[in-house]
Structure 1
Amino acid sequence: MTDGITIGQAAAFAGITVKAVRVYHRTGLVAEPRRDSSGYRRYGTAELLRLVQVRTLAGAGVPLAEIGPILDAEGEEFATALDQVEENLTRRIEELTARRATLRRLATGDRVLLPDRACAILDRMPGFGFSAQDMAIAREGLILVRALMPEGFEDYLAQIEHGLDDPRHVALIKLTWSAGSWAADDPRIEDLAEEMAQHFLADPSLLPTLTGLQHQDDAVTRHDLLTHHGEDDRPGWRRLTALIQQKLRAAGTELP
């Protein structure tokens, strides 16, 4: 009968590394075997079996700190411990699956920051003739609205969807976005502001509102960040927005 095997042989038979065996010893998962006359540890079947058991549970994703109590449990207690391990693994699988889905959506850029309903709106924009630059600003705007106005985001999306169903509204919005490249003193801005104001007065439901800000202590700051997004790169927008608001207020429309 053999006097036992070396640590290297035990590791190989158990399908782990010598370093892992030493970790199991250090953490108390596997008792250190006796040493032979030369001072080397000699592993018998009991130690080898324990190494295989520890390796199997560790490979199944059980944390090392939990392996000892599981192996030391008996009967119903052992079965209960394994059930708990299975529940934990199922939860981890669900979390990892969700992370993988997020990584896949990252391939589409900032779309990972938006829900499917918002992405569906963005998907409709090329069909209406909006440019790639328009879509980039729209995507950024939606991300900001969701971050700064989470409570009213769904209502805001509903307003956009409503507007996209109105051909005249879409045409005017496209013209408004084109005006962003105009100079701030372009005379066309005054005419467009008047047309937009009359359009909203004729159908107030098409006027986008940020109602989700009304209960925020810093509503003014959030409102300014949202309404002035993109104006630095589009000089015509700031004056156009100001004129539209001025005309609407003059007509009795309440605006934030």
Structure 2
Amino acid sequence: MEASVLKADKIRKKYMSEKGFSVTAIEDFSLSISENEFVSILGPSGCGKSTFLRMVAGLENGNEGSLTYKDKIIKKQHPEIGMVFQDYSLLPWRTVLDNVVLGLEFEGINKKMRYEEGLKYLKIVGLENFSQAYPYELSGGMQQRVAMVRSLVKKPSLLLMDEPFGALDAHTRMILQKELLDIWEKDKKTILFVTHSVDEAIYLSDRVIVMSGSPGTVKEVIPIELPRPRDRGDASYGKLLSLLIRMLGEEYNKVKPA
């Protein structure tokens, strides 16, 4: 296995609710991710999946424990760490290409170079002919491709994805899953992916981290050792699906009102 690039050691994250109560989102959360791994996090709503991702992105800080990237404590946003959110967050007054190269523009990359780089990545996802379109002219799946490319164009070593395909229809979702895997296998990035979909986690991942209900911690780590490309009709795939659904069901039942 490759060297670890991301380590979380006994992370604890608390925040104050709107009513002034202290809420623990994550407790005793430990995780190690190796270089070039594709790791998904599954867990019930409110277990702290997105909170943890935001901490890795440097957008939030923990209260206890340590969180390191390449053995350095994460205190703020890191140039090697990119993030794709569930909502597309595209600027409506900018064209597709200008949305894609926004980060490169902030870095001071000259216009010619950033446009060349942006068009190269748009071509990878089949959107080069829409470079001068505006977000409102695109379907949801196309907008999510743009959001994904906007993170990829900065060439992050670690890509964080927070339910990026959650709002899409099933067919578009499967297409983007395949495109994401194509990019990952070509560029060999490390990807940490949050999802509510058991099927998506199995189809994409090397390992699946199953979180407990709130406060979230690691319930179990499930290696996905199926060959790629994966066959959803395979019996082994079905067994993993049943196992993960049962694990999630146990956590949902714990928080289910009596």
Larger relative contact order (Cα-Cα within 8 Å, sequence gap ≥ 6): 2
Q: Which has the higher helix share?
A: 1
- Common fold by TM > 0.5: no
Q: Which has the higher strand share?
A: 2
Tell me the TM-score range normalised by the shorter chain.
under 0.3
Q: TM-score, normalised by structure 2?
A: 0.21
Q: TM-score, normalised by structure 1?
A: 0.21
Query: Rg: which structure is higher?
Result: 1
